[in-house]
Chain A
Amino acid sequence: MKHLIFKDIDEPGLNTIDVYRRRGGYGDRLRQALSMPREALVHELEASGLRGRGGAGFSMGKKASFLPKGAMDKYLVCNADESEPGTFKDREIMQKCPHMLIEGMIIAAYAAGANRSFIYIRGEYVEQADILDAALVEAYDAGLLGDNILGTDHSLSLVVHRGAGAYICGEETGLLDSLEGKRGNPRLKPPFPANQGLYQGPTLINNVETLATIPHIVEMGAEEYAKLGAEGSTGTKLVSVSGNVQRPGNYEIELGTSSRDIIYGLAGGPPEGREIKLWFPGGSSSPVLTKDDLDLPYDFNTMAKAGSMLGSGAIIVVDDSNSVVDVCLWLAEFYRHESCGKCTPCREGTNWTVKMLERIQTGLATPMDLDIMASVCENIIGNCLCVLGDAMAMPVGSMIQKFRPEFEEHIEAARARNAFTGDEDAPELALIQGAVA
């Protein structure tokens, strides 16, 4: 299997510039990229077919080409917020090979004509941010950041900005507001960040993995890179596999590898004697798939065709020892907590979904609640400023659709167990009134 990012990932000291250089970093490929005309570089990135690794899967080169030409201040922002449940790939890149990200940013900034750049890293990643800070000092000292990089007329400043714990700051416009020192509420789009982003200037935002791939594309050439992977999903991808698997971790695969090979072959599958009940192919925001879908090739288009999405490339495996209602509730609780509250359908819809799931847990629900829940989800989708609401509604909807009998069974069992008698002091009643701490 072809490895680009993870080629020497565990080499001792790879986080320092010396070792990174020894492995080909900041060498000819950087010089070559900076000597190309901007348009040619953007074209190269577009031709590589590289799609964003942060969630939306938009063509990286195309996004770079949307930035207006001209002499205004332009910005490059690296999205290192990585808060999508199940995702932990950017963490491994930043912690073990921070210079790969910095090199990618130098090239991307050159392509976009940006002179200032920021890495917005989630505040919880203290160790990774410290490593990045140290790498930044090395890069500045080596003249790879700052004015006239490698003697060219490309200049770039880079600042590591630590967030403070909010999933919504991974959404690109929420991130920009947060980076401007505000509450991280997403903005109305358009205008898109490419036209009006950070400090109102044109801004290119990309995920850590997207940016870290760029040096490899320059080195291999777009044509070679595009040969890796599958139709419409070129290249390699880091997949974070977690949940009920024997060997959780990050794996670099070529897009288009069979999902079974990833979950069973690489990650070892669920513990002995258990079977996969459902899996999230792209973080908790992606509609769930079942064991019938395990033979699908893992790439952007196939996952979309299967009714889900590749998202951030985070596979969460849930085995048959778990109840789908529990998983659904954990998921909904997360989105309720992280909804920024700006749009009513998302703020209220996530809250009511949690409440209905709690009713199911406590035996107060009837099968009708499932229909109400499905309609709440329907009313969130497409009616909000950003897709956080959809990100709850779609997986919850898919779980109800695919596991409806289990939900109904659970409702009946809980009702029988609790035999709710209309007692005013029943603990279940207190729970739905939100009075239980």
Chain B
Amino acid sequence: MTVPRFGHGSRVPGWDDAVDLTKDPATLPDPATTPVPADLRAEIERHMAKYPDRRSAAIPALAAAQRVHGWCSPEAVEQVACVMRLTPAYLLAVASFYDMLDTRPVGHRRVYVCTNISCSLCGGRELLGRLQAELADDPDVQVRGFECLGACDIAPMASIDGVYVGPIEDGEVAELARQVRDGEEPLPDKQLLRRPSADPHANTREWTPQSFAPPAKLERATPSNDPVPPEPSSFGAPMEGDAAGPSAPIEQAPNPEDDA
């Protein structure tokens, strides 16, 4: 099983695309002609308020737009650009750098299968191949290989819209695929949050295995199969209400377009 690559041999998309030189560069979108969903605007503004420089909110804002649009579509980027008063080119440059921001249309349900060393030693690449085969016919689901997800103790593992599960045994792949397809909790017994520490000397007291249920406070948005996002995403639930922490005064970064 090999990890898919783009035609030019890299796993990074887009290096093949030529720039359209006949097009004028996009400028700051005009708020009057760029409708932004109110929720999205509010969320981006909340993110901007957390930082001394509003540009720091670029990743959270793009993640929020991806949650709404399913991927960082031109429309999504335009909306972020409109709220953040940054050019679409700036934001696209940011979006294309990060693996979790998709600059191509893909299924909005994201399944990342780790194919790094520890997982590959335990069959991670075979797992990726089998999950891809099982879910190939579902256009809403994107199954892709990912670098080390920081859960090598449960190798081979996968992240289903941000929920870590593993070790996934051969006999469980079909079941997992069905759960992903139906939007159910993936392999509840194999979720990372339920796993006690491996260190035999770690605890001074005995805790029962039941204690490892996910903390009660954590409420996960349940995935749905509704073809229209907003969706639970690999970035978690949208940020609501007041941000933790003080709202910093927005000191504007030097940006010539601002004063225009």
Contact = CB atoms under 8 A, between A and B. Distances in A.
Contact of B211 (A1, A3, A10): A10
Interface in A8-45: 8-13, 15-16
B82 interface: no
Given A162-B59, A163-B98, A437 B5 contact: yes
Interface in B191-232: 192-193, 196-205, 207, 211-212, 214-215, 217-218
Contact of A126 (B8, B122, B200, B234): B234
Contacts, number: 260
Contacts of B115: 330
Contact of B197 (A16, A92, A331): A92
B98 A83 contact: no
A180 B245 contact: no
B199 A266 contact: yes
A379 B252 CA distance: 42
B250 interface: no
Interface stretch (A248-256, A290-298, A385-393, A415-423): A248-256
Contacts of A333: 3
Main secondary structure of the interface of B (DSSP, over half): loop
Which of A73, A243, A436 gathers most chain B CB within 10 Å? Answer: A243
A244 interface: yes
B53 interface: yes
A338 B10 CA distance: 11
Contacts of B234: 123-124, 126
A342 to B, nearest CB: 11
Contact of A242 (B10, B11, B153, B214): B153
A243 B148 contact: no
Interface residues of A, number: 96
Interface string A61-92: 00000000000010000000011111110111
Nearest to A326: B120
B117 A331 contact: yes
A224 to B, nearest CB: 18
Contact size range, B: 35 or more
Contact of B118 (A15, A162, A242, A338): A242
Interface stretch (A128-136, A188-196, A210-218): A128-136
Contacts of A126: 162-163, 234-236
A3 B62 CA distance: 41
A127 B193 contact: yes
Interface in B63-101: 63, 93-94, 97-101
15 contacts: A130-B218, A133-B244, A134-B217, A162-B63, A164-B63, A165-B146, A166-B99, A180-B55, A182-B94, A240-B152, A241-B153, A242-B153, A249-B197, A334-B148, A434-B5
Interface of B: 2-12, 50-53, 55-60, 62-63, 93-94, 97-101, 112, 115-118, 120-122, 146-155, 159, 162-164, 192-193, 196-205, 207, 211-212, 214-215, 217-218, 234-237, 243-246, 248
Given A159-B245, A337-B10, A435-B9, 19 more contacts: A1-B201, A11-B203, A85-B148, A95-B193, A127-B193, A134-B215, A158-B245, A162-B235, A179-B56, A183-B94, A199-B53, A240-B153, A244-B121, A247-B198, A248-B153, A252-B201, A280-B117, A284-B117, A337-B147
